[in-house]
């Protein structure tokens, strides 16, 4: 019996966020991961859909200021969507899981940096010293981050792992999986 892992992939077979042990993966759809990859591929970089570790939808979803309780397999609303400031009234809202705001730390940083970049562009300026954050589809930090032109392997909390680093311009073969 094969007991390896199953991974989510996009329509081209490229691996994306989401995985499970094979013996637990019979219900795994990867629908959330595929939707996020599709939205990002279309050029939308501030997608805030949250996916579970297996690539399905978390119960509470918010995107573009609207929140809803989602079917984990399809992402379709199971109740009438509400404005994000009213998400606490949804039956799927849990303060222990979500906290006071929907966006998680990494996502908040990415959204803030996007707003700063937009504001600077409108004024003809561009500050190059800010960090570049990469978030996983569950809102946690991705496997690497870039600060001042240097790429570091990082944990899900955004903390640098180990002492290995490389110039961001040379990171094409960077593999942080040994730290995970």
Residue 173 sits in a domain whose CATH number is: 4.10.800
Residues 80 and 10 in one domain: yes
Residues 93 and 11 in one domain: yes
pLDDT single digits (tens) 102-133: 888 888 888 787 778 778 888 888 766 566 77
Residues 16 and 34 in one domain: yes
Q: Is 99 exposed, middle or buried (0-12, 13-18, 19+ CB in 10 A)?
A: exposed
Average pLDDT value over all residues in the chain? 86
Residues 17 and 91 in one domain: yes
Residues 71 and 19 in one domain: yes
Question: Which structural domain range is residue 27 located in?
Answer: 5-98
Give the number of other Cβ atoms within 10 Å of residue 152's Cβ.
Answer: 23
Beta bridge partners of 108: none
Domains in the chain, number: 2
Residues 77 and 151 in one domain: no
pLDDT single digits (tens) 149-177: 888 888 888 888 887 788 888 887 777 76
Residues 9 and 79 in one domain: yes
């Amino acid at each position: 019996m094969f007991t390896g892992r199953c991974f989510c992939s996009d329509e081209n077979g490229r691996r994306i966020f989401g995985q499970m042990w094979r013996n637990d993966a019979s219900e795994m759809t990867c629908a959330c991961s595929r939707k996020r990859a599709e939205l990002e591929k279309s050029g939308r970089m501030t997608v805030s859909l949250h996916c579970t570790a297996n690539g399905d939808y978390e119960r509470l979803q918010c995107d573009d200021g609207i929140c809803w309780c989602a079917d984990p397999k399809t992402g379709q609303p199971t109740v009438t969507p509400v404005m994000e400031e009213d998400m606490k009234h949804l039956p799927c809202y849990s303060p222990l899981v979500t906290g006071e705001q929907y966006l998680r730390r990494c996502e908040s940083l990415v959204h803030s940096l996007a707003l700063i970049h937009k504001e600077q562009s409108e004024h003809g300026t561009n500050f190059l010293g800010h960090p570049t954050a990469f978030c996983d589809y569950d809102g946690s930090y991705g496997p690497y981050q870039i600060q001042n032109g240097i790429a570091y392997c990082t944990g899900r909390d955004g903390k640098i792992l180990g002492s290995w680093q490389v110039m961001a311009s040379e990171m094409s073969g960077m593999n942080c999986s040994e730290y995970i």
